[in-house]
Amino acid sequence: MSYKADIQATYISAATLDVIIAPSIRLKGIIIVSSGGGIGTVDLRTNNPSGASLFKAQVPSGLITSLNIPEYGILFPEGIYVNTFTSVSSVTLFTDKYSGPGPTFGG
């Protein structure tokens, strides 16, 4: 059986507001966990936390949302950065590769 690419999972907590994964990377899927304090919002950007917004999603209060991104995913040419986590307790990103030594776990 052949596979298109290795998939890496990176868990990040709501306290993360900086680089998540260094350049260049494709986002293939995401799980967003709402903290229950209202509609959860996630805004992921490239280049820096104020860079171009390439993925923005909302999740209903108290729920978990999972999204598989079709085809090749979303290319983040300058890495994935967090701009906004509102009413979100954690996010798991599924990417095509990871530029570091292994998956990361937020605190």
Residue 11 predicted with pLDDT over 70: yes
Least confident of 18-27, 37-46, 62-71: 18-27
| Residue 107 is assigned to a structural domain of this protein | no
For the purposes of burial, counting CB atoms within 10 Å of the CB of 69, is it exposed (0-12), middle (13-18) or buried (19 or more)? middle
Query: How far out from the chain centre does Cα 63 lie?
Result: 17
Q: Which domain holds residue 36?
A: 11-95
| Residue 104 is assigned to a structural domain of this protein | no
**Count: domains in the chain:** 1
Share of the chain above pLDDT 90, in %: 46
Q: Which is it for the CA torsion 53, 50, 65, 96, positive or negative?
A: positive
Q: Using only C-alpha atoms, what is the Rg of the chain?
A: 13
How much is the pLDDT for 107? 39
Task: Quote the CA–CA distance of 57 and 48 in Å, as a whole number.
Answer: 18
* Residues facing residue 33 across a β-bridge: 64, 90
| C-alpha distance across the termini of the chain, in Å | 36
